[in-house]
Structure formats: C-alpha cells, structure tokens
Homo-oligomer: A and B are copies of this chain.
Amino acid sequence: MKHKPKSKSLSNKKYVIGIDLGGTTVTAIITNKSGKIIRETRFLTHGLKGPSFVIKNIADNVKKLVSDSGLTMKHIWRAGMGSPGPLDSKKGIIINAVNLPGWKNIKLKKTLEKELGTGVGVDNDANCAAYGEKWMGAAKNCDDVVALTLGTGVGGGIIIGGRLIRGTNCNAAEIGHMSLNPDGITCKCGAKGCFEQYASASAIANSARRKIKSGRKSKITEMVKGNLNKIDSKVVYEALMNKDKVAQETWDEFIKYLGAGIANVLNCINPEVVVIGGGVINAGDKLFRPLNRAVKSQAFDAVYGAAKIVPAKLGQKAGAIGAAGLVIFEGEYYGL
C-alpha cells in the first residue's frame, strides 16, 4: 500500500485560533502550535443583538485578526472557543448561556465552522481557562491540575493525567456549586450553601454589605458615599488595608470558606497544583498566606503537602489560550 505524502496545504496550517466568549467582551488570539501568541484582539460581545449577530461578529473579527497578522485562513489549522454553559462540548452546542440573551440550543461549532472554513472545538469557558494555565501558564508541565476563577461566581476546571475532565454529559468541574453548608445561603442555582456564595469576588462584596446593612459601622460606607450597591471586592480590600474591622471579618470569612472549598477539592482529586484566578489574586501574600493556613487546617497532610496553591498567570487571555490548546491536544474529542 502506498502512502500519500502530506499535502502542502496541511503543512502550511501552522496556526490555531483561540476565542473566549464573555458576557461583555470577546478575546481572540492567533497562536502557533507551541502556544506562542502571534496576535490578539478584544472586542465587545454585543450580546443584546442575539446569537446570530454575535457569532457573525466573532467570525468577522477573527478573519480580520488573521489578515492583520499577514496570514490567510489557509494558514489556520483549527479554532477553539470557550463559551459560558451549560453546553455540549462533544457536539459544540450551547444549551443555555445565562448571561447571553437568546442563547438556547445554539449550534455554535457548526455555524462557526461554516463562517470560518476551519474545524472548531467548543468547550466550557472555565475548562478552557484551566487548560490555558496548564498549557502555558501557572500549571505548565503539571498533569493533575485544579483551576478556580473567582469572579461573579467561582469557575472551575479539573485536569487529570493531562486531560480535561468533562464528565458524562459535559458538566464536570462545577466546583462553584459544591455546597459548604446544606443549610447555608441559597444560590441562584437553587441549592444551598454553594461555594461561590462564600468564596467569589461577589461574595466578598455581599458579605460586607450584609454586615453594614445589619448596622455595623465601617469605613466602607464612607468609601462608597453611602451607596452600598457600589461595594465591590476591591473596596473591601482597600478598607482591609485601612484596618477596617468589618473588612477584616469579611476577608477572614472569605479565606475560611475558600480554604475549605480548596481542601475539599484536594481531598477528592489530590492534584499537584491549584491555580487561583480573578482580580482578587492581586492581594498577593495577603490572600495566599492565610489561604494556605486555611487549606492546611482542612485538608489531609499528604494531600496538602503534594499541592502548590498558586496565582493564575494568563489573566484574561487564559480562556482563549486554553481553547486553542484544547483543539491542538484534544482535537479528536471535538471530532476534529
């Protein structure tokens, strides 16, 4: 049997597109197969204009990104995309993206493949961010990784033996909805005591707000000029730096729950690294020192000893980089 030589066009396909679809903005990159970013762009999602517009707009911006790089789509091997879920990553269908109006059962993979003329893989945005940190960021060269992004909620991604854990119907790693108290705060998911009700950036703000509303005096009230809706995690952190007692209590509680949640994941998965992302990591030692103590007190010694807890390195680009990496290394999963 004769073997055909590799076609020339395939050998030219040296680049991969990575896209991260957010509620407000979209990030897109072109990278080579080693993760070196050639060019990147960020543009508004325009979510209110509906899924057809959003997808067309993404395709147009990606094509422009390619031509701005002095390339054509013929140089593009594959494209990966991170999207809010729940979604079916096998089929590339967005089942429901809560922050994007009209996104129900949207055939994202198929539509984007038609628009771009290249194979597309779609995965959960938090999974992509985790994979990005594993491929090119804070968990480089690690095979057993848990990544958490603390924002409005707590996004999670789990990598075991170098491969993303997706679960039996693509819903694994919803670590933000692990309950830390079955009698606790009701989450918007309907469950009680979800991790993200205690350990997200929003949770920090909500917790301080509750304390002030209950009559506690705090510098925070002054800092937001009495408009408690303006409290965010940054304001709480500034007040903490100014030795505000309410801010300190809020921070301590946040650390306690974040530590307990991470310890739970350690005891279940026994990873070698836990990557923490989100603006709150700018607190540096003020976060990571007490956090390590909190995790140590709740996790098995051997499990705590095996795991480093580190800040994410890739910032807002993690999702796009991970989406590109996933279609490179796990392309067969997406049918590519």
B160 with A306: CB separation less than 8 A: no
Enumerate the 10 nearest inter-chain pairs by beta-carbon distance, A residue then B residue, closest first.
A167-B270, A182-B260, A172-B270, A168-B272, A174-B267, A178-B264, A169-B306, A171-B270, A191-B298, A144-B168
Q: Is B263's CB under 8 angstroms from A179's CB?
A: yes
A167: chain B residues at CB < 8 Å are 144, 269-271, 303, 306
Find out whether the CB atom of B268 lies under 8 angstroms from the CB atom of A172. Answer: yes
Is the C-beta of A165 less than 8 angstroms from some C-beta in chain B? yes
In the complex, the answer to whether B172 meets A306 with C-beta atoms within 8 Å is no
Write the chain B residue with the least CB distance to A271: B168
Chain B residues within an 8 Å CB radius of A52: none
Query: Known pairs A168-B271, A168-B272, A193-B260. 5 more at Cβ < 8 A?
Result: A169-B306, A172-B269, A178-B264, A179-B260, A180-B182
Residues of A within 8 A of B (CB): 86, 95, 143-144, 156, 158, 160, 165-175, 177-182, 189-193, 256-257, 259-260, 263-265, 267-272, 297-300, 302-303, 305-307
Q: Could you tell me if A257 and B302 are in contact, using CB atoms closer than 8 angstroms? A: no
Q: Which of B263, B297, B302 contacts A171 (CB 8 A)?
A: B302
User: Are A191 and B268 in touch, CB under 8 angstroms?
Assistant: no
Given contacts A167-B271, A272-B168, A177 and B300 within 8 Å (CB-CB): yes
Q: Within the oligomer, what is the number of copies of this chain?
A: 2
Contact between A298 and B172, CB atoms less than 8 A apart:
no
Please indicate the chain B residues that have their CB under 8 angstroms from the CB of A298 in the complex: 179, 182, 191-192
Return A2 CB to nearest CB of chain B, in Å. 24
Cα–Cα, bound, A29→B256 (Å): 46
Interface contact A268-B158, CB-CB below 8 Å: yes
Pair B182/A268 contact, Cβ less than 8 Å: no
* B179-A270 in contact (CB<8A): no
Assembled-state Cα–Cα distance A168/B159 (Å): 12
A61 to chain B, nearest CB (A): 31
Contact of A257 with B178 at beta-carbon distance under 8 Å, contacts A169-B270, A170-B270, A264-B264 already known: no
Task: Give chain B residues whose Cβ lies under 8 Å from the Cβ of A271.
Answer: 167-168
Q: How far is the CB of A83 from chain B (nearest CB, A)?
A: 16
Q: Kindly state the separation between the CA atoms of A178 and B261 in the bound complex, as whole angstroms.
A: 8
Q: A250: shortest Cβ distance to chain B, in Å? A: 15
Query: Which residue from chain B places its CB closest to the CB of A184 in the assembled complex?
Result: B181
Question: Which residue of chain B lies nearest to A187 when distances are taken between CB atoms in the complex?
Answer: B298
Contacts of A160 in B (CB 8 A): 160, 165
Report how far A257 CA is from B182 CA in the complex, Å. 7
How far in angstroms is the closest Cβ of chain B from A170? Answer: 7
- B181 and A270 contact, CB distance less than 8 A: no
Q: Given A177-B300, A182-B256, A256-B182, does the pair A171, B264 have CB atoms closer than 8 Å? A: no
Most-contacted residue by chain B among A173, A181, A306 (CB, 10 A) = A181
